[in-house]
Chain A
């Protein structure tokens, strides 16, 4: 079949197909491209770009592998499970396998310390959380309607909530001055702004634990949100995809728990919906296990019909149902995953602290929200992007700039830490240390050439206390051969 120019197609495709609602034209994909062209590999490409832009949980894959080896019946293809093959292969009912829904309901309860119970009949399947957001938006809103979303928020929402649905996102601006908490004032401002613009707000979408902040909402804030949506009569969609990534206090409080504290006349449960997935908590993004859990019967009914467009493979439902029915395994997994995340997070943030880099204090998630405001030449998003390009192309770490998360303040970066082994993490930390070190000698000018050969001047300023500088000087410093060394630095010359 030959190839040819498609500009001969006189019949246009839909606006949806030809537009950029998929969100991939954004400059943030430069990081991905840099990684794809030059991916780090400890053996094959030790100087490549380390992927720290992908929120994957790879810390407990060994636990699942062990379980799979010990439980061949989890797969319908093994001798242990093949007697079920034909029934499972034939099963396409959009209600899902009952044991799958039961397993998910119980797992969700366990992740919340069994403080709440979930009803399997309210579980609707979707193609990952990506599919779940698309589905809930189709159920709740019409084209032109809006959802309020606190910033910073996961960039994928722009595609997932808006692309096919025609719905808008209106940001609720949160600030670092109060650790990005969601305030009533910010909610009201956003809502009133919509009303003034003649936009109908259909709901508020929160991610708790937060991506990219890695923090959980406190009870008071949760109650404010419930009160707000009830007062405005709008939906509340809580994306709890990171629920089991909690690694230290304060506790994660699910919306499911909070609404139990309300009488029916104070909280209309028809407004409350939860999005969930096993992609983060169990590290299984490839299996596309997305869930919409709604307290609204009409949403469950409609959502179920819509789920036809993204059902979970019955082969995968069967596997997950088997795994989640193993109580001992589940409880051990949740505890061990939390412990490993705590260790990884603790070590990483401690090492960053030693070179004077702070992160937002967080208790969950697969990433840290790194504060590099002090490294910006000026507090602008342009400066943020300039620094970002340096980090990608020179430090060779793919991190995500805060502006891609619609953060209202420049200088924040999300850095993922659970998608690599200890050795890779050490290399990443060493590169960060090198980068900080070479900039510690005062103001310096760097010329950064991008692959497109446009030269950009970057003036970096760092102010560190003398004590910190001494600490850094004492550290073992494995210089990345790729980081540009200031030719004048006697320290560097002494080490090479």
Chain B
């Protein structure tokens, strides 16, 4: 019997990132998922940034618009054949028009988008990878502020061969991007012999849940102009901004500063998707928006590898063209997110846990530094393991988001009922109370917010460092879900 034939190096490496703890937490959840009725002791999923708060709005719309479902056009005529055969990578014009209208509405109509500059892709996962294939190659680097969405390791690097060099952001200034951090990342890339091709930001941020200020955006623009590189703004959470300050898209800055006619006009690209704002991750609707005709041309051809189903394009073109629906949805969705966010924040606060102040997203960036046994990532993993296995909450440790400081965790709030969130908050409160009670010589009472500067002793972990490392880095086998 011959030696097994090797697969490609991409197949055998682990750049897909699914060995990380982010995905391992999901595996544990899948073995023992919480259910309000059937498994009240199970693990509550707080690691998945899904928006499940507004399905009823979509369902009402469906019941009021029965034609769209049965492959029927505006006049009730069957359009199945036309849809079944439609595989033009330019996408359906009616859908792109509806998408750009929706994107403009999300930005308070402060900017408008041209449907001919929109490229449709199978989700933002595909949009980000496709954009990277167009902008970068092996030997190039993309600068990304930390903490960032763990999936970027796969989406930006895996098959493209590009590298990510982090722009280190810290809690000292609420993780805002600074010009010195940008410069440092740029130098680091060069020291690694990499050619910097772009900065990629997520705005609103995952995992922070904050929107970038105009000052930050201007800083970014100045930086990419100076270095003559691209700027990619992943605005997938643009419809989840529920509080001030209001969302400022990079496209607004580009417009306001009248960069039209300047080089940089061609180097700013936006990524979008309906997975978060509309809660439709299953439909695989992503988009790249660019003023650069070469990017649009290349990305359009490349989208052949992951087009949006024409069935889905048709459905969404009718849904998103309905102004009454979209306006109402955008507002109502925000209100519900705001409420749910405040429930999480107050629930954590009553357990003595703070969150980074945030105004968007489907999650909070939670500060558990005071619960660490030491200011190390080992201690973070130790705490995380307890929270997954004992408290039975699947949350995402900051290290999986490449955060430079241990002790931060992302907790999602929009993928469960209020009742479930309540259960989660009670569990956390109980857990924290236990730690406080059993900590020797700790003057902090249950009612006081513990100081961040005093590391607390915690339970002795039964795991040795070696077995912890082995467990953390074992291959993920079952996970298939995103973000």
Q: Tell me the A residues contacting B by CB distance below 8 Å.
A: 1-2, 4, 6, 8-11, 13-18, 22, 24, 56, 58, 61, 64-65, 68-69, 72, 75-79, 81-82, 85-86, 88-95, 127-128, 130-131, 134, 138-142, 145, 159-160, 163-164, 202, 230, 233-235, 265, 268, 270-271, 279, 283-288, 296, 298-299, 301-302, 304-306, 308-316, 319
Contacts and interface: CB of A to CB of B under 8 A. Distances in A.
Contact of A138 (B84, B159, B315): B159
Interface string B142-175: 0000000000001000010000000000000000
30 contacts: A1-B291, A10-B228, A13-B298, A14-B133, A14-B135, A17-B135, A22-B301, A79-B63, A79-B66, A85-B55, A86-B52, A89-B58, A92-B284, A93-B481, A139-B10, A160-B305, A164-B159, A202-B5, A268-B4, A283-B85, A284-B84, A286-B311, A306-B159, A308-B123, A311-B122, A313-B311, A315-B283, A315-B309, A315-B311, A315-B312
B309 A287 contact: yes
Given A233-B2, A313-B311, A4 B305 contact: no
A116 B269 CA distance: 48
A24 B302 CA distance: 12
- Chain B interface size, as a band, is 35 or more
A313 B331 CA distance: 27
A14 B275 CA distance: 28
B96 to A, nearest CB: 15
Interface stretch (B235-243, B255-263, B398-406, B436-444): B255-263
Nearest to B127: A309
Contacts of A75: 69-71
B83 interface: yes
B59 A95 contact: no
B429 interface: no
Contacts of B71: 68, 75
A88 B69 CA distance: 14
Given A68-B71, A127-B306, A285-B85, A11 B311 contact: no
A311 B284 contact: yes
Contacts of A279: 87
Contacts of B281: 89-92
B266 A90 contact: no
B229 interface: yes
Contacts of B279: 89-90
Contacts of B197: 11
B480 A95 contact: yes
A312 B284 CA distance: 7
B309 A316 contact: yes
A306 B353 CA distance: 38
A68 B70 contact: yes
B389 interface: no
B7 A91 contact: no
Interface string B46-63: 000010100100110011
| Most chain B Cβ neighbours within 10 Å, of A58, A86, A94, A134 | A86
Nearest to A78: B69
A265 B66 contact: no
Interface centre among A17, A58, A298 (most CB of B within 10 A): A17
B282 A313 contact: yes
A68 B140 CA distance: 49
B100 to A, nearest CB: 11
Contact of A1 (B255, B298, B481): B255
Given A92-B123, A127-B306, A163-B302, 8 more contacts: A14-B136, A22-B298, A68-B70, A69-B70, A164-B133, A268-B4, A309-B122, A313-B309
B393 to A, nearest CB: 20
A319 to B, nearest CB: 7
B282 A15 contact: no
Given A16-B133, A89-B280, A313 B260 contact: no
A18 B294 contact: yes
A309 B5 contact: no
Interface in B275-305: 275, 279-284, 291-295, 298-299, 301-302, 304-305
A395 B171 CA distance: 71
A6 B260 contact: no
A453 B55 CA distance: 59
B369 to A, nearest CB: 32
B86 interface: yes
B134 interface: yes
Contacts of B293: 6
Given A85-B58, A92-B481, A233-B5, A309 B306 contact: yes
Contacts of B5: 202, 233-235, 268, 270-271
B80 A61 contact: yes
